[in-house]
Structure 1
Amino acid sequence: MTFKMPSTEQVRKLGDALGIDVTDSYADSVIDFIKPFADGYRLITSLADDVPEIKYPRSGYYRPEGEENKHGAWIVKAQIRGASNGKLSGKKVAIKDTYSLAGVPLTNGASVLEGYVPEFDAPVITRLLDAGAEIIGKSVCEYFSFSGGAATSTSGPVHNPRAWGHTPGGSSTGSGALVALGEVDMATGGDQAGSIRIPASLSGVVGIKPTWGLVPYTGIMGMDPTIDHAGPLTATVADNALFLEVMAGEDGYDSRQAGLKLDTYTKAIGQEIAGMKIGVVQEGFGQYDSHPDVDAGVREAAKVLQGLGALIEEISIPWHLIGVPIWSAIALEGTYHGMIKSALPRNIEGVYPVSLAGRLGSLRERANELPDTVKVGMLLGAYTDKYYRGYYYFKAQNLRRRLRAAYDKALSGYDLLLMPTTRMMASKIPSADAPLQTLMQHSWEQITNTCPFNITHHPAISIPCGLGEGGRPIGLMLVAKHWQESTLYRAAHAFERACHWQSMGSNAKR
């Protein structure tokens, strides 16, 4: 890329866009003044970029077809072997298709990114490989990860292994499905509204959204930097704790990682929970479309924890129901600014994939390819940005403190909060020609209980706790104080070892 001086006409057009009256003579004066800057920009172009290293070789990739990809969960398969030994030796891993994996395509479920190949590995990738894991491919996700369902990815729908024709939960659809299928020991996820916990709930696996910043987000496509979280999906709680132990910690790039409080999460496995206080959040149940099997199944799970010696009490957090509008104002306008208007989020220190910015910079030319989920969200984000000057985004950012304080107040008297992860079980995947209203309902119906904690940054885990109508999994969500992931694992593992979750619920396997 070579920096070129602007023309008089270009300066005048820029002035028009900024509301500045620019005559030809004024434009020429501006050009004369900025000429010295040109050499600086050209120098920047000539210097080698500073991005994370690539430590482990990879020989290629392919798109699996037929029986090898029956559920549609793989976007590509590859083979990248890590260190010869380590905590994750022998573990097979799938990487959500939002993570930069050098030499392997990154599409984020989007047709407009087909053919894009990153030049570096996200630091989390290197950590997994350093610990001895083997990466065997990338998992499908929803288009720009902008859906909790399974109907928008450019590669087609991903089917729930426990309920064919139903969503495995999004946006990390392939990650949830591959873990449920047993094809991998762990899959990475990204969570902006519940995209780790929703597939964990609907697919019947374990998924954690850690405290914001605990896992570095460097080299991972997101939405708004203030709600982006990364974490693992696994079949068991013990594996989840193990993988988070490897993934967590500062990477030296991500400025969102100040003040981390790390722990050895695997030490929580096998601990008793007698005396632990758990608040059952009333507002997480009985919502207008809550399925009775879900509410009953989660309350049954609470009784299991009570039987293990935990103190279970009903509590009320009215602000919980205000989480969705606060999340919406931040996520929609934030994504509009960080992806559509500006190609990548600005004003944070970290690693910028400049080649990706170039691809996203031409998004307007192919905007009609976007699914309705992205179109509607970006139209609303653009509307509030243009006609309300960001008022709702800024006000929501302020109100997130009140929402956080409401949960903190409840957590001052309890070790954990408890509620359903998703208020319904996996829904059927809409047809490709489904009307806008059907697609939007499918894509956003599951975020009510999950998205508030993206705003407040509290760690939250989803574990399977039973089977409801049609044999579809039910997810139990536990929420802890910031940096208390070990408390989550302690309770989750106690529940897991106390019962066989598939023998619980209205459609239990007896």
Structure 2
Amino acid sequence: MTFPSFSPTDLDAVADRWNLDPELVGRLGPAIDRMRDVYGRVRDLATEGRAPEPPPVAVTRVPRGPDNPHGAWLYRIDDPDRPGSGPLAGRTVTVKESVAVRGVPMTLGSRLMEGFVPGSDSVVIGRMRDAGAVVLGTSVCEDLCYSGSSFTSAHGPVGNPWDPSRSAGGSSSGAAVLVATGQADYGVGTDHGGSVRNPAAWCGILGLKPTYGLVDYDGAMPTERTLDHIGVLTRDAADLVAFLEATAVPGPYTEGYAQEVTGLRAGVLAEGFGWPGRSDPRLDDVVRGAARALEKLGLTVSEVSVPLHRYGRDIHLPISIEGGLTTVFESRLQGNNHRGPYHPNFGETFGEAVASRPEDIPVGGVLALVGATLLRDATHGKVMAYAQQLRQRLREQIDRALCEVDLLVLPSVPMPPHPLPADPREAVIETDLPFEMHDNNCVFNLTGHPALSVPCGFVDGLPVGMLLVGRPGADARLARVAAEFAERVFRCPPPPHHDLTGSQR
């Protein structure tokens, strides 16, 4: 990092950007030079005596082909330094490429981050290793995570394991496919508006967005820090509890798994069904049938209402795009004035790439960047502030509903997986395919409640996910309901094996 002298032209450009008096700004040059000197001292202080780089990891790029037919793997690793005991002993893990794995390129699904290699594990991966897990490699995600589908990655689309011509869901697409096809026990991903639960629903596996803050986000790509969650994908509910035992902040968060589900009250959330123009009524029927089947487990089932749920996606948008403008673009994936963590090299790599290669910003990122800039400037952030007020009201409405019942039930996504578009760029510009699935899932990123997508049936041979939502900290109780449901009502079979043409083999 260099600290060049700022020319009068540089000062004029800043004055023009902020509509300031150029004469006044020009006179501030010496004071700004003193600030620059301070920046240099801070850099030198932070980097002196830095620990040596860890030994390299053997990394192999996995090409699309017979060993990677859905385009889900990105890198495989061979790291012999593996702990052998703990709650995750011997369990295998694939990691979304937006979550740091020591020594493995972390590209965020984008050309912008090519060449960036983190020198340490994210907190969640470090804790999983300490608990005995074996990290197999990283998996493909959407470009900068700006999509809930699976067709925008710079590495190519990820096909659904039930029908490779269709979306796997996203943005944690590759991780979901690898878990669904039995190539890993766990998929670790990030969830900003449904990015773990979308692919879980469409691939026929479990996807948990834990209670906000329960699993440390340090080392994962931030988009908007109050919405960002680490999430996990598995095929078995008991694995969710082991994951929480290994990674969650200290507390009694796994005790609910040992409790009986008989007597729990399930509330079918009326506003989660029948989205105009998006919901498939057959999918709604499957989820309602699955909700009624909870009675076989000893739960009582009734209907509840959360009126603001219907507006959750609208409330999510200003918070997400204006927060993303600040976090992703203006502060180079760092955010400002929070307690941490900060990752200087990560931010520098991204910032230099955006400055020198703006053509590599994905269309979804350009849409968010331009839309947020125009709308924030036009409203001076007022609508985002209104959205934050509505967010609080939405959280209160859900909390009231969860006083009447113990868990909410609704579709994870309103529709089955859509076909992968022939032209991904035009699909982002002209359609809602990257975001159409967010109606229900994004609400619980706003409120922080734990939300678990559970396979509950099929429509046209494609999996359907039922979303279970609980009180903060009730993550393991949701997992217990899911375990009982799989044992006594419906367990999703493994998907058929396909090649890229869709023919079974």
Give the TM-score normalised by the residue count of structure 2: 0.91
Q: Comparing 3-12 with 274-283, which one deviates more in the overlay?
A: 3-12
1:431 aligned to 2:419? no
CA deviation profile, 1:244-267 (whole Å, cap 9, x unmatched): 221211xxxxxxxxxxx73252x4
- Structure 2 counterpart of 1:444, which letter? F
Q: CA RMSD in A?
A: 2.3
Q: In structure 1, the residue corresponding to 2:438 is in which secondary structure?
A: coil
1:501 aligned to 2:491? yes
- Please list, as runs of the form range in 1=range in 2, the aligned pairs for 1:81-480 lying within 5 A after superposition: 81-249=81-249, 262-265=251-254, 267-269=255-257, 271-288=259-276, 289-344=278-333, 345-362=335-352, 363-432=354-423, 435-436=426-427, 440-469=431-460, 471-480=461-470
Partner of 2:45: 47
Cα pair distance change 1:28/1:19, threshold 3 Å: closer
CA deviation profile, 1:337-356 (whole Å, cap 9, x unmatched): 21123322212111222122
- Measure, in 1, the Cα distance between the counterparts of 2:324 and 2:21: 31
Q: In structure 2, the residue corresponding to 1:75 is in which secondary structure?
A: strand
Tell me which of 45, 57, 60 is aligned to 2:58. Answer: 60
Aligned partners of 1:150 and 1:169 also within 8 Å: yes
CA deviation profile, 1:464-496 (whole Å, cap 9, x unmatched): 011111x10010101111111122122112212
Structure 2 runs not aligned, ≥5 long: 494-505
Aligned partners of 2:363 and 2:429 also within 8 Å: no
- Measure, in 2, the Cα distance between the counterparts of 1:106 and 1:4: 29
Aligned partners of 2:421 and 2:427 also within 8 Å: no
- Measure, in 2, the Cα distance between the counterparts of 1:27 and 1:335: 29
Aligned partners of 1:52 and 1:121 also within 8 Å: no
Aligned partners of 1:151 and 1:439 also within 8 Å: no
Q: Shift of residue 281 of structure 1?
A: 0.6
Q: Shift of residue 40 of structure 1?
A: 3.0
CA deviation profile, 1:258-291 (whole Å, cap 9, x unmatched): xxx73252x4446421110111011111222212
- Measure, in 2, the Cα distance between the counterparts of 1:3 and 1:435: 40
- Measure, in 2, the Cα distance between the counterparts of 1:393 and 1:51: 43
Q: In structure 1, the residue corresponding to 2:118 is in which secondary structure?
A: coil
Q: Comparing 339-348 with 64-73, which one deviates more in the overlay?
A: 339-348
- Measure, in 2, the Cα distance between the counterparts of 1:428 and 1:16: 46
Number of equivalent positions:
488
State the identity %: 35
Partner of 2:497: none
- Measure, in 2, the Cα distance between the counterparts of 1:55 and 1:10: 36
Aligned partners of 1:110 and 1:154 also within 8 Å: yes
- Please list, as runs of the form range in 1=range in 2, the aligned pairs for 1:15-54 lying within 5 A after superposition: 15-23=15-23, 29-49=27-47
Partner of 2:73: 74
Q: Shift of residue 34 of structure 1?
A: 4.7
Q: In structure 1, the residue corresponding to 2:432 is in which secondary structure?
A: helix
Aligned partners of 2:363 and 2:428 also within 8 Å: no
Q: Shift of residue 458 of structure 1?
A: 0.8
Cα pair distance change 1:485/1:306, threshold 3 Å: same
Aligned partners of 2:253 and 2:474 also within 8 Å: no
- Measure, in 2, the Cα distance between the counterparts of 1:324 and 1:448: 6
Q: In structure 2, the residue corresponding to 1:194 is in which secondary structure?
A: coil
Cα pair distance change 1:40/1:495, threshold 3 Å: same
Q: Shift of residue 48 of structure 1?
A: 3.7
Aligned partners of 1:372 and 1:440 also within 8 Å: no
Q: Shift of residue 27 of structure 1?
A: 5.5
- Measure, in 1, the Cα distance between the counterparts of 2:283 and 2:16: 56
Cα pair distance change 1:30/1:441, threshold 3 Å: closer
- Measure, in 2, the Cα distance between the counterparts of 1:484 and 1:51: 44
Q: Shift of residue 5 of structure 1?
A: 4.0
- Structure 2 counterpart of 1:201, which letter? A
Partner of 1:257: none
